[in-house]
Structure 1
Amino acid sequence: MSDTHQLLAAVAIVAIVLLLNKAQESRRDSRHGAFWTAIPQAGVSSGRLLPWVHASLRSLYSSAETATAGYEMFCKKQDKPFAMAHAAAGAIIVLPPSRLPAISLSDDKILALAAQNDTLQPRWTSGGRAHLYQHPVLHFDVVRKHMMRDVSAFAAATDEELRMALRGCWGPRSPNEDWRTVDVWDTCSRIISRAANRCFVGLPLCRDETLLEQSRSYANAVYIGAGVITALPGFMRPVVGPLVALAAKRYLTGSMKVLVPFVEERLRLWHDGGGKDVPNDALQWMIERCSKAGPGEMAPECIAQRLLILNLVSIYTTTYAFSNCILDLYSSPERDEFVAGLRAECTQVAGESANSQGGFPTADAVKRLYRVDSLVRESLRVSAFGIVALPRIVAPGEGLDLGFDDLPSVPAGTRLGIPLRPIHMDTANYHDPMRFDAFRFSREFENHEGIIRQATEQKLSVDISETFLTYGFGKHACPGRWFASQIIEQAVAHMVQEYDVECVGKPEKKTLLNMVMPPMNNKVRIRLRDRSCYDRMNVGSFDL
């Protein structure tokens, strides 16, 4: 986090503690006293002066500890929800696993989109087009319709783009170069940005250096800035929000300068050709979806920004997952065993590929990377995006009845969440859950009988359940997870085949409120394994 963001966060802390929290505590007691008296509380010490003020301050850095304690005491032992402090929201009601279905209730009971938009804060980061994030969310319609059905069609393109981008970012820069040190987050975001944009806008724009730099910087600025804004009390956001979002707006402008003319040209081709002979990419799907929504949605600026929203969500979340795969794998004490097993599988699958250059250019090839998929799922388990996640808000009205005889309805406007990290680290759900085990989900199939069952029985990285919630749960589960998983697995497969990797120092996971921050300060040392292929790499052509 930059010095500016740290300063703004410090200002937010002071403002929250001095101006907001005590007032929220009073409102909780006076308006819905019966509920707040009945709900168990975690991390709120009644013996302290201003207990909710103290708990809210601690929530900035100790939410993981509080959530785990509340989960063990109330969710597991009593099957009850509990309240925990949140510096900006005042309190979050954490639901036990038995109430997971509640997050999928209809919009007249539970608000999902409003809660999820907090992660992007579009009022401040969208450059005046916050309405694009509201219903109907046309860009997510595109994901739901195409990013499952058509994801296999992108396998060859993303495989090629990932290989080129990986070599362009990781090198080597010269035939005599041995080990070199690279920034994990920076290089992974460049690699993922290339692959994602290959599917969104196609060649040659997916390799446009200006678009790549501006769009990935926009993604980083939105998520980091939104994290700071989310930590602010509501009355401060109109003042501080625009300042925090300045970087996001700058990168948004830079991205739009490239995208809008491209969209205008695509619209012309689409109209002139009567919708025939058009590219099969996300931009074309967006144009067709917007055309059905009416003329008001066909402005090139709106289409371009909807595409950019998909871009920023895809780049940030997929980079987050890929970066953590690298750090989890190569910081493990068992990394040599894991890497050897991954390489053996990747070599076998690549050798069986119909493509003479090997690689993983088909969805079928990717689906046979069972060990790689297990690694990705395990990394998503131990390095999920949040602590208390899947946020929801109780819809206006009479509140939400959770079905507990001794608990009144949850008041309208109250925030809800699921204890994602405690569930993922529960010994009742996983053996030795604190250990990163890359082959946790594939090991039982490592025999003749298991191979027969593997295709239908192995839990894959895209499979959600009551004990694996990184991609969500129920009707609001991430519809783009098949696309993300395919890209991550191809990237991991090329990485383990082509490079030796070592972590520089021990990776640490830092938290802010309920967010697990991305690994932006971690570095790795990398070395090309087969130096004889340097002359075939054409690194300069793809240097990012």
Structure 2
Amino acid sequence: MSTSDSRTFLLYGLGVAAVVYGSYLSQGRKDSIPAFVGSKGIISSYAAALHVLRHATEVVTEGYYKDRDGVLKFPTLFRWNFLANGRKRVLEIASAPEHILSFNEGAADGLQSDWTMGPEITKNPYHAVAIRGSLTRNLGRCFPQVRDEIFHAFDDVLGLDGKDWKLIQVLPTTMQVVARTSNRLFVGLPLCRDPEYLQLNIDYTVTIFTRGQMIGLMPNFLKPILAPLFSTRKSSLRHALKFLGPLIDERLEKENEYGNDWPGRPNDLISWLLDLAEGEERTTPALALRVLATNMAAIHTSSTTLTAALYDLAVHPEHILPMREEAERVIAAEGWTKAALGNMHKIDSFLRESQRLRGAGAVALTRKVVAKDGFTFSDGTTIPYGAFLSVAGNAVHYDPKNYDNPDEFDGFRFSRIREEHKGVATAEEGEVFNKHMVSTAQNHLVFGHGRHACPGRFFAATELKAMLAHMLINYDIKAEEEGVRPPDMCFAMLRMPDPKGKIWIRKRE
């Protein structure tokens, strides 16, 4: 589809949205939840919905401070979104079972995954179980492969000669490194270093987010007509089968002949998926789709996190020497192991602080109410069936009640707290004190919270800490323009680091 055709369809969709918007507003009046923007009628509400597309963070922040313990709603193009504020409500949402508040349906809406990836990903997300279980359990055993790929990937991707400074575009670089490192565990050598295979996964990741946002601008009744024109699901899968088809075919043959305990069985994502796949999922196309879906999550999360952290490091260079000294000291004492990464408290803290300020979008914990009677909070407030419910994301991380000097980047904020308590668990308003990068809390929602906290966060944290430590030891970096951080890109509820931002980098002596 050409760019002009895409714009035509988008404009058509927005025009239809304006016509049908009144019916959505009427549905919104059936509940008693107050609206904090766009509540004066169809025109003002639709104008507010358009405003949200470009200023969602500001709008949600306004709602967060309007009623810090209440439930409010705000309009988007085709529906009312509900916003729940306060730690108690965060816990209630995070602990609600899937058959009442659906995490899977909420995530599917954000990515429009029924159209961009396929409805089976939403209905049976067993690949997440493989990541939460098998991948996490095998991190220590597989870490030598992760370390080896990080070493070679940075060397190959950066292509630095001598000790001269080189200006690099950060996000494309980190996506290449993350794709290689992740696929070392997903599909192994030599495929994890195949440039065409890696580019397929990177393009697929970018497409899911960009096309998902475009499809999200369409009214539901038009999606069966328009969404297939935007989706690359079928063509991406066909391309993936060129690389994954022979590999998965061979695995399936051996599994069918020997079971899942044959000599030399690789300890990788394909094997972990085969341990869980049943029925129609035990086919080459179905398994290839799961590999694509897992790559999408891994590449997006880790590459954007590392990119944001490098932007922060370049404009806050005072953190470089303390973290470099920590990395060199720990590696000298313990070597490159997963356990050694656990003792890099400053690096862990720096990444968590970067995530606090840059890692959350306007909203977090998005769920769809799937219980026919709706979802009722402990105070009796009810969210109707079919509604989408979230909590504030970015605003929580900038709240002075949650963090001292919240607007200030303090890379060692969390490592100081850990050092002060010397690893002893203490109570903080009834919660166990924990400030590791992978820890979730009501005031730290980058990885979600509760039963649906990000299943891949332990892998992400391991590779990110290893990558940052590797860079600190082997490279110098500085901002493209001293003291200037590339601005984040925001659209609707999506927030990510500037994809065109650059930094200077060179090899160390």
Say which SS state the counterpart of residue 98 (structure 2) adopts: coil
Matches of 1:94 and 1:9, distance apart in 2: 34
Gaps of 5+ in 2: 427-431
Matches of 2:245 and 2:498, distance apart in 1: 32
1:373 aligned to 2:358?
A: no
Matches of 2:435 and 2:458, distance apart in 1: 14
Deviation per CA, 1:485-543: give whole Å up to 9, x if none: 0011101111111112123353111211111134312111211112xxxxxxxxxxxxx
1:282 aligned to 2:299?
A: no
- 1:25 counterpart letter in structure 2: L
Say which SS state the counterpart of residue 91 (structure 1) adopts: strand
Deviation per CA, 1:190-210: give whole Å up to 9, x if none: 000011001111122211222
- Residue range with higher mean Cα deviation, 319-328 or 234-243: 234-243
- TM-score between the two structures when normalised by the length of structure 1: 0.85
Which residue is equivalent to 2:251?
Answer: 266
Deviation per CA, 1:143-191: give whole Å up to 9, x if none: 222132222222111111011111111121x33x611121111110000
Matches of 1:10 and 1:97, distance apart in 2: 38
8 Å CA contact retained: 1:42, 1:67? no
Gaps of 5+ in 1: 355-359, 531-544
Say which SS state the counterpart of residue 111 (structure 2) adopts: coil
Q: Please give the residue correspondences for 1:108-507 in structure 2 after superposition, counting only pairs within 5 Å.
A: 108-126=99-117, 129-135=118-124, 137-172=125-160, 174-175=161-162, 178-246=164-232, 249-274=234-259, 275-277=261-263, 278-290=265-277, 293-294=278-279, 296-331=280-315, 335-354=316-335, 360=336, 362-404=337-379, 407=381, 409-445=382-418, 451=422, 453=424, 459-505=435-481, 506-507=485-486
- TM-score between the two structures when normalised by the length of structure 2: 0.91
Structure 1 residue 21: deviation in Å? 2.2
Matches of 1:210 and 1:49, distance apart in 2: 49
- Residue range with higher mean Cα deviation, 201-210 or 93-102: 93-102
Deviation per CA, 1:240-270: give whole Å up to 9, x if none: 3223224x54433222210111111122333
Say which SS state the counterpart of residue 97 (structure 2) adopts: coil
Say which SS state the counterpart of residue 471 (structure 1) adopts: coil
Matches of 1:377 and 1:21, distance apart in 2: 40
How many correspondences in the alignment?
A: 497
Say which SS state the counterpart of residue 319 (structure 1) adopts: helix
Say which SS state the counterpart of residue 118 (structure 1) adopts: helix
Change (3 A) 1:54 1:374: same
Matches of 1:224 and 1:208, distance apart in 2: 25
Change (3 A) 1:10 1:289: closer
Matches of 2:500 and 2:287, distance apart in 1: 34
Structure 1 residue 364: deviation in Å? 0.8
8 Å CA contact retained: 2:108, 2:114? no
- 1:315 counterpart letter in structure 2: I
Structure 1 residue 454: deviation in Å? 9.6
Say which SS state the counterpart of residue 137 (structure 2) adopts: coil
Structure 1 residue 133: deviation in Å? 3.0
> What's the Cα RMSD here?
2.5
Deviation per CA, 1:438-481: give whole Å up to 9, x if none: 111012455xx765659996610111111111111111111111
Aligned with residue 99 of structure 1, among 84, 89, 107: 89
Structure 1 residue 10: deviation in Å? 5.6
Deviation per CA, 1:17-38: give whole Å up to 9, x if none: 5223222112323xx1xx2xx3
- 2:365 counterpart letter in structure 1: L
- 2:185 counterpart letter in structure 1: C
Which residue is equivalent to 2:429?
Answer: none
Which residue is equivalent to 2:36?
Answer: 42
